[in-house]
Each structure stands twice: as C-alpha cells, then as structure tokens.
C-alpha cells in the first residue's frame, strides 16, 4: 500500500485483528454521552459524493461530541457540480484547514487515491463496491454487545453480496476475528471470487440452510433496479431469499438480526423481522456514534 497519513482508515483489509480489537475497546470507552473534548480545535471535513443518512449524521455527531468543528461538503451544491476534480476538491479542503477528511464516493479506491496525495488522515465512509470499514466495525461492536466473542460464531449474510461494500468489509473483519461465515443470495448476486474474499467462507444455495443454526443473521439491502439488471424477478427473490419470521426461527433462539440500512421492508426482509425482538437494526445505528468517535480519536491522536 502506498504511504498515507497515520490514522487513516481506508479499509478493513489492511487492519490487524489487534488493531480492530483496539478500536472496539476505545469505542466502549467512548460509549457515554459525557462530553469528551479530545479533538477540540480540530477541523473535520465530511465529503459526500453519495447519499447517506446514518453514516453522515453519525460521523458528524461523533466529531462534534469530541469537540471538533465539522463542515459538510456534498457533491451537489459545491464546485464538484461545476466539474472540479476530486483531487482539486480535496486540495481546496486541505487549504481551508481540514485536519481530517471523511469521504464517501461512488468509485472504489477514491479514499485511497486522495490519501496518497494528502498529509492528513482520510477515513473511508464507503467507496463504490469496495469497502465500508466503519460499518463493519460498528457491526462487530453491536455483535459484541450481545455475544461474548466473535470467534466461532455462525454468521449468515443474505442478500446482494456482489454489490455490497458492507458485505466485503464485514466478511473481512469477521473472518479476521474467526467467525464462521455463510453467504447466501441469488447466484447473480454472489461474486465468483466470494470464497477467495476470506478463508473458510461457505456459500449456501438456500436461505434456510444459511440461517439454520446461525448466531447472527445479517441482511443486506436489495435494490429493485439491480434485480432487474441481473434478470432476477422481484417475486422470485422474495420467495426464495426474503428473511421471514419462519425462516428466522431456524436460527439459534438467541440469534440477532442485523441490517446496515436503509431497509426496504417487504423486499429483503419482512416488517415482522425488522421489528422483532431479535432485531438490532436500530441499535447498529446508535453504535455508529461511539465507533466513529473511536476511529476519529485514533486518527487525530486526541489525548484520553
Ligand atoms: C450502506 C452503504 O451505503 O454502503 N448503508 C450504510 O452506510 N449504512 C448500505 C446500503 O446502502 O445498502
């Protein structure tokens, strides 16, 4: 990997299990509503080239809870609309005094690209179909609030694996912590390289087989346009892969059900599943704040 500023978080791929554990531990310390002005005087730029609700708001709240000033730059309404390049945009943000840039971009590799041209840390808030490292960290954090350890847990990931940066980051993180992962979705949504993403990955043809005995069921968003683009009918997807209560009953009794959001009720999961006792979907959003506080503190080296 080319040289980037210390504290950058570009993907899970380059993180060691010990670093992951360190971030999760720091997140636990951050998990209070007590003000912690560790980053007072720092300027955090949030550069979003794609839509976002949870990721953007939780990064902003995390930064402000640490006493940092935040500025949001969206592709619409900025000079990006006038055709300014990505690199010229980030040089501008650096010139106005950014100490750190959080970026979401539709192109895989965009955070890595800007990080190699900047002397400040860059945090990847989702790049194309590549990675979404803070989502994987908050998912691990959420699992650990319900399970003693991730090692040996059976995790089923169901939905559009192929287009999902959430799946890519989750698979890497959970394999580094030695979970047993089973992927499930229409073959069109399972990358050929799926099993090479991490050692020991299983692929299940039926959702029943994937969910049976699972400790964690992670459901991914499924987009109607993508189903159409892959020639998979909506009805067929729902019949074969939708996570329903009867299917969820095949999982362990104390299994948790996760989804990175935004959820499409009635497509990848039913209303009952989204709102059931085992659903931690809202808790995941909540946990995004302490986890992102930890990632920002690690990047900007605030004293604890
Ligand atoms: C995801 C994303 O944008 O990658 N959402 C999120 O950040 N919580 C998942 C998705 O859009 O499917």
Q: Do residues 78 and 152 share a domain?
A: no
- The residue among 126, 122, 121 whose CA lies nearest residue 137 is 126
Q: Do residues 195 and 264 share a domain?
A: yes
**pLDDT reported for residue 42:** 97
Q: Do residues 164 and 181 share a domain?
A: yes
State the virtual CA torsion across 190, 243, 217, 272 in degrees, nearest 10: 150
- The residue among 18, 29, 5 whose CA lies nearest residue 303 is 29
Q: Do residues 86 and 188 share a domain?
A: no
- Ligand 1 atom index nearest CA of 126: 4
Q: Do residues 157 and 275 share a domain?
A: yes
Q: Which of 123, 124, 133, 135 to mutate to test the pocket of ligand 1 (most atoms within 8 A of CB)?
A: 135
Q: Do residues 178 and 275 share a domain?
A: yes
Q: Do residues 271 and 156 share a domain?
A: yes
Kindly give the distance from the C-alpha atom of residue 103 to the centroid of ligand 1, in angstroms, as a whole number. 14
Q: Do residues 120 and 157 share a domain?
A: no
Q: Do residues 157 and 68 share a domain?
A: no
Q: Which of 169, 262, 282, 289 to mutate to test the pocket of ligand 1 (most atoms within 8 A of CB)?
A: 262
pLDDT tens for 261-298 read 999 999 999 999 999 999 999 999 999 999 999 999 99
| pLDDT above 90 for 191 | no
pLDDT tens for 221-250 read 999 999 999 899 999 999 999 999 999 999
Check which CATH number belongs to the domain holding 186 and give it. Answer: 3.40.50.1370
Pocket of ligand 1 (CB under 6 A): 54-55, 126, 132, 135, 165-166, 221, 260-261
Query: For 181, phi and psi rounded to 5 degrees?
Result: -110, 135
- The residue among 204, 194, 206, 148 whose CA lies nearest residue 170 is 194
CB 214 within 8 A of CB 156: yes
Q: Do residues 267 and 293 share a domain?
A: no
- Based on the structure, what is the number of domains in the chain? 2
Asked, for residue 6, whether it belongs to a domain, the answer is no
Mean pLDDT of the chain: 94
Q: Do residues 112 and 172 share a domain?
A: no
Kindly give the distance from the C-alpha atom of residue 29 to the centroid of ligand 1, in angstroms, as a whole number. 26
**pLDDT reported for residue 66:** 96
Domain span at residue 219 reads: 146-279
pLDDT tens for 133-159 read 999 999 999 999 999 999 999 999 999
Bridge partner list, 265 = 269
Q: Do residues 118 and 158 share a domain?
A: no
Kindly give the distance from the C-alpha atom of residue 184 to the centroid of ligand 1, in angstroms, as a whole number. 18
CA–CA distance, 204 with 211 (Å, rounded to integer): 9
Q: Kindly report which listed range (170-174, 188-192, 258-262) carries the lowest average pLDDT score.
A: 188-192
Residue percentage of the chain with pLDDT more than 70: 97
| pLDDT above 60 for 304 | no
**Tokens 């400040």, residue?**
120
């Amino acid at each position: 990997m080319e040289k980037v500023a210390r504290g950058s978080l570009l993907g899970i791929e380059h993180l060691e299990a010990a670093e992951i554990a360190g971030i999760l531990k720091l997140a636990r310390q951050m998990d209070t509503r007590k003000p912690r002005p560790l980053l007072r005087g720092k300027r955090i730029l949030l550069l979003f080239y794609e839509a976002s609700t949870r990721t953007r708001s939780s990064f902003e709240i995390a930064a402000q809870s640490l006493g940092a000033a935040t500025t949001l730059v969206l592709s619409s309404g900025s000079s990006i609309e006038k055709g300014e390049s990505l690199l010229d945009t980030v040089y501008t943000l650096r010139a106005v005094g950014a100490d750190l840039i959080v970026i979401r971009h539709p192109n895989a590799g965009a955070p890595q690209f800007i990080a190699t041209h900047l002397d400040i840390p860059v945090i990847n808030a989702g790049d194309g179909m590549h990675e979404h490292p803070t989502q994987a960290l908050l998912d691990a954090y959420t699992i650990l609030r319900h399970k003693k350890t991730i090692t040996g847990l059976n995790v089923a990931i169901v939905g559009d694996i192929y287009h999902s940066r959430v799946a890519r980051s989750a698979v890497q993180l959970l394999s580094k912590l030695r979970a047993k992962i089973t992927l499930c979705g229409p073959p069109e949504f399972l990358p050929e390289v799926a099993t090479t993403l991490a050692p020991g990955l299983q692929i299940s043809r039926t959702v029943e087989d994937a969910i049976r005995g699972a400790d964690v069921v992670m459901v991914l968003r499924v987009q109607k346009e993508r189903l159409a683009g892959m020639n998979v009918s909506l009805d067929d997807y729902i019949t074969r892969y939708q996570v329903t209560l009867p299917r969820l009953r095949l999982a362990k009794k104390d299994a948790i059900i996760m989804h990175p959001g935004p959820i499409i009720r009635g497509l990848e999961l039913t209303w009952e599943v989204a709102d059931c006792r085992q659903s931690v979907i809202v808790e995941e959003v909540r946990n995004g704040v302490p986890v992102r506080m930890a990632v920002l503190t690690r990047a900007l080296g605030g004293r604890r």
